[in-house]
Structure 1
Amino acid sequence: MEEKFLITFEEEVPKYIQIANNIKKLIDNKEIKDGEKLPTIRALAKVIGVNNVTIVNTYKKLKNEGYAFQKVGSGTFAKRKDIVPIFNREYSKYFKKIKQDELFNIIDFAGETQSEVYFPIEEFKSIINMVLDRDGANALIMQEPLGYEELRKTINKEFWKNRLSIENILIVSGAQQGIDIASKAIININDNVIVEKPTYGGALSVFKWRRANIFEVNLEEDGIDIVAFEEILKKNKIRCFYTMSYFHNPTGISYSKEKKLKLLELAEKYDFYIIEDDYLSELIYESEIVHEPFKKLDKNDRVIYIKSFSKIFLPGIRLGYIITPDIFRESLQNSKINTDIATSTLMQRALELYIKEGYFKGHIGFLKDEYKKRYELMGELIKQELGEFVRFIDPKGGLNFYLSLKEKNITSKSLFYKLKSKGVYITPGVIFYRYPKDGDYSFRIGFAQVNEEKIKQGINLIREELS
């Protein structure tokens, strides 16, 4: 038994509280690792020189305060308590100010949705008029809790070649609601979840709210570190793995087919499910990347697939869909209905007609052409102007670049504040980690909200700060 558990007691404070405080300090300082098994009650009592009841009360206090969790038959395990992400709220406040005040003089490298100048407003107005002429009041008052049936049929036909049952397609209000619905349906308190490191902050918030035990695994250039991933599977019963298979947010990496197949194999072997957030996969700029999501390769019905139309089509009127495995169909349907009774029926009907009439495919083609120009310009400028300060993986698609500082002489939060004072907004890496300090020296910049001139100005200002 290690000496780190030994403690000199003070008379005024109950012993179990002092022991618990010592263990919390060890966990916070990473002397006890997240997920590490704590000594048995009898063993720890013997080492410290107290009775078993004292250690029972110690472990009960640790569990109540979020510093430990128990596995029936296996013992008690350390759980590093998440730091309250104060900066996340502050960052959101600034981000909202950009939108609310319409500050056109700023350089917004933080925005992720398409610029209003690219929204096909005239086309969409004509589609809405066609829907109203065709369906009348039904377009406004009819509610279908699982989603407009014709939209579900069109999604199946246009995107999945009629390989799905429409009963397994649910319409939701964007990817965030999709993650929330999936989590409510399959994750219980103290279930174990694996996420990529880093990952989408909105997903982390959902899993924390479900009080799941979160395991992080580092990303490589073609997906998650499989060796480290399987080590966790061998030692823990995992309920699900959350992944962004294309142009991962924030890193921009896309999974290789080999890693997808291996993860699907592991899902079957170790009995867990994959929540696939198919993020921005329409925006592929290089022919070497083929769109073949986990769900398309899924032979054992292990994937809950989530797709949003919000980022590239309807930012303000949130729409997306979930494909459910048969085993979770009813629980996901109930979770959807309990979350909201129905999603906007007019917008669903308009989207269905927009897709069916071929407008959607044409719009995506237009966006790819326009965004590819910005992607190429921003990538070239990063190499030329920032190459001595940062390293990055070329995403070959999507809307963002993720930059890691070579020298740790400024944190991403400090850089955020310095650039904000010059009218440039970036996204600090701390937003994307369970423990914010892990993102201190990385940041994301995107080109969705900036034209070519602002890209040049913004990169120049970043270079000034870094040098």
Structure 2
Amino acid sequence: MTATDAASDRQLAAPVPPFATRVSAIGGSPIRSILAVTARPEIINFAGGLPAPELFDTEGIAAAFDDVLTHDARRALQYATTEGEPALREALAERTTARGLPTDADDVLVTTGSQQALSLLATALLEPGDTVLVESPCYLAALQAFGFAGARVIGVPCDDDGIDPAALDALVAEHRPKLLYTVPTFQNPTGRTLPAGRRAAVAEVAGRRGVWIVEDDPYGELRFEGERVPWIATYEGARDRTVLLGSFSKVMAPGLRLGWLRAPKELRRACAVAKQAADLHTPTVTQLAAARYLATCDLDAHVAEVAAVYGARRDAMLAGLPGALPEGSTWSRPEGGMFLWARLPDGHDATALLSRAVTHEVAYVPGAPFYAVTPDPATLRLCFVTQTEPEIGEGLRRLARALRPSEA
């Protein structure tokens, strides 16, 4: 081929087709971007939602994997059913039933992390242009999942106790949404918990208006104080229209990537079909190891130990916040979970202030990305579980130098 021929071929070559519009419209996670910037070990990072790695039961998990690979390797390394390994589904059903929601193994679909459950539900339920209601503010990755499905996402007004049922009722009547997504217990990002009375009211609205409820519960077992509140799925009016999501990420280890959903039969089957197209099934060896762990170890006792440590770390953060945030700031006092939500005085922009915080070797997540529509720029999320109590104290002193420079 001559140089002239090559030049002619280049002139005739057409550009490749563009990416889907949703890729540029939705974008990546701001939290992931912040974690990439703040990965330096000298930075005390309140930005991530990372469980404390020193509290993982590494010995118990390693023993479970070893047992499975020693005695059941052929099965563990083979393909499995899309719905999940029977032993794990049975164990999950027993744990769910013991917490007040009668459940059979056939009610459960194992997912590759509960984040996959959100994607499966979006695939099974949503057409482009459908309306989804979420809490305001809302778990960021849920906004991404619904956005990728082409949904119109609307935030429901919330106060310190969570969703306002009257506002929810009005929005459902006006917009006719397909579903309501909620994290009612130790919510991400605010840490708040929806009281029992409001849960009953939310269930009543869903039953009367005809709405699916997606109840996400990754943090509910991490309670430090107070009494457990029953799942929305247990309330009259919600039982036939609520999908309950669970995860081992916060109570066992996130690297296992094990979650599950409990849903009415037809919706669960639709999610299984969507999962077949996504990944066929969640890794067999991980499912069997988790089932073996549940059979041989006391997960509840382990979670109680983790919650006690997390509670002390929450207290350390609460004790240091008055001196760390500008005067006039407010913040939540969660009874469990991993996050604390703060609001700086009017006129402060948490996003703009983040770069100053990083120069002082401390990081947080600005609150703005957690809003479906109109963000509150003065808000921010702090994770209190990843660092030790002394590290939390030092991190808050650094935060004070960044946010209260006139007092430094």
Normalised by the size of structure 2, how large is the TM-score?
Answer: 0.88
- Aligned partner of 1:95 in structure 2 is 35
Give 3-state SS (helix, strand or coil) of 1:127's partner. helix
The residue correspondences of 1:228-239 to structure 2 (distance < 5 A) are 228-239=167-178
- Aligned partner of 2:118 in structure 1 is 179
- Aligned partner of 2:274 in structure 1 is 335
The answer to whether residue 235 in structure 2 is matched with residue 297 in structure 1 is: yes
The answer to whether residue 189 in structure 2 is matched with residue 245 in structure 1 is: no
Counterpart CA distance in 2 for 1:353 and 1:291 is: 29
> What is the CA-CA distance between 1:84 and the residue it aligns to?
5.3
- Aligned partner of 1:130 in structure 2 is 67
4+ residue runs over 6 A deviation: none
Counterpart CA distance in 1 for 2:121 and 2:223 is: 27
Deviates more, 1:162-171 or 1:179-188: 162-171
Match of 2:161 among 208, 217, 222: 222
Deviates more, 1:351-360 or 1:165-174: 351-360
Counterpart CA distance in 2 for 1:459 and 1:344 is: 40
> What is the CA-CA distance between 1:388 and the residue it aligns to?
2.2
Counterpart CA distance in 1 for 2:218 and 2:305 is: 18
| CA RMSD of superposed structures (Å) | 2.2
- Aligned partner of 1:74 in structure 2 is none
> What is the CA-CA distance between 1:97 and the residue it aligns to?
5.2
Q: What code does the residue aligned with 2:391 have?
A: K
Provide closer, same or farther for how the CA distance between residues 180 and 439 of structure 1 changes in structure 2, counting only shifts above 3 A.
Answer: same
- Figure out how many residues of one structure are paired with residues of the other and give that number: 381
> What is the CA-CA distance between 1:98 and the residue it aligns to?
4.7
Counterpart CA distance in 2 for 1:414 and 1:351 is: 43
The answer to whether residue 317 in structure 2 is matched with residue 382 in structure 1 is: no
> What is the CA-CA distance between 1:93 and the residue it aligns to?
2.8
CA contact (8 A) 2:34 2:47 kept: no
Counterpart CA distance in 2 for 1:93 and 1:256 is: 34
> What is the CA-CA distance between 1:382 and the residue it aligns to?
1.4
Counterpart CA distance in 2 for 1:374 and 1:197 is: 26
Counterpart CA distance in 2 for 1:237 and 1:159 is: 31
CA contact (8 A) 2:354 2:366 kept: yes
Counterpart CA distance in 2 for 1:319 and 1:216 is: 28
- Aligned partner of 1:425 in structure 2 is 363
The one-character-per-residue Cα deviations of 1:256-275 (angstroms, maximum 9, x if unpaired) are: 11111111111111111101
The answer to whether residue 50 in structure 2 is matched with residue 113 in structure 1 is: yes
> What is the CA-CA distance between 1:463 and the residue it aligns to?
1.8
- Structure 1's unaligned 5+ residue stretches are 1-65, 67-80
The residue correspondences of 1:349-360 to structure 2 (distance < 5 A) are 349-360=288-299
> What is the CA-CA distance between 1:423 and the residue it aligns to?
1.5
The one-character-per-residue Cα deviations of 1:247-289 (angstroms, maximum 9, x if unpaired) are: 11111111111111111111111111101111311111112x3
Match of 2:372 among 415, 434, 438: 434
The one-character-per-residue Cα deviations of 1:87-127 (angstroms, maximum 9, x if unpaired) are: x656523413555xxx3321010121212211111221111
Identity of paired residues, percent? 25
The answer to whether residue 160 in structure 2 is matched with residue 260 in structure 1 is: no
Provide closer, same or farther for how the CA distance between residues 137 and 333 of structure 1 changes in structure 2, counting only shifts above 3 A.
Answer: same
Higher RCO (C-alpha under 8 Å, 6+ residues apart): 2
Provide closer, same or farther for how the CA distance between residues 221 and 167 of structure 1 changes in structure 2, counting only shifts above 3 A.
Answer: same
- Structure 2's unaligned 5+ residue stretches are 1-20
Provide closer, same or farther for how the CA distance between residues 199 and 126 of structure 1 changes in structure 2, counting only shifts above 3 A.
Answer: same
Q: What code does the residue aligned with 1:269 have?
A: R
CA contact (8 A) 1:113 1:310 kept: no
The one-character-per-residue Cα deviations of 1:437-464 (angstroms, maximum 9, x if unpaired) are: 6131100111222111111111112222
- Aligned partner of 1:273 in structure 2 is 212
Deviates more, 1:421-430 or 1:378-387: 378-387
CA contact (8 A) 1:195 1:243 kept: yes
Q: What code does the residue aligned with 2:361 have?
A: G
Counterpart CA distance in 2 for 1:330 and 1:90 is: 33
Give 3-state SS (helix, strand or coil) of 1:306's partner. strand
> What is the CA-CA distance between 1:140 and the residue it aligns to?
1.4
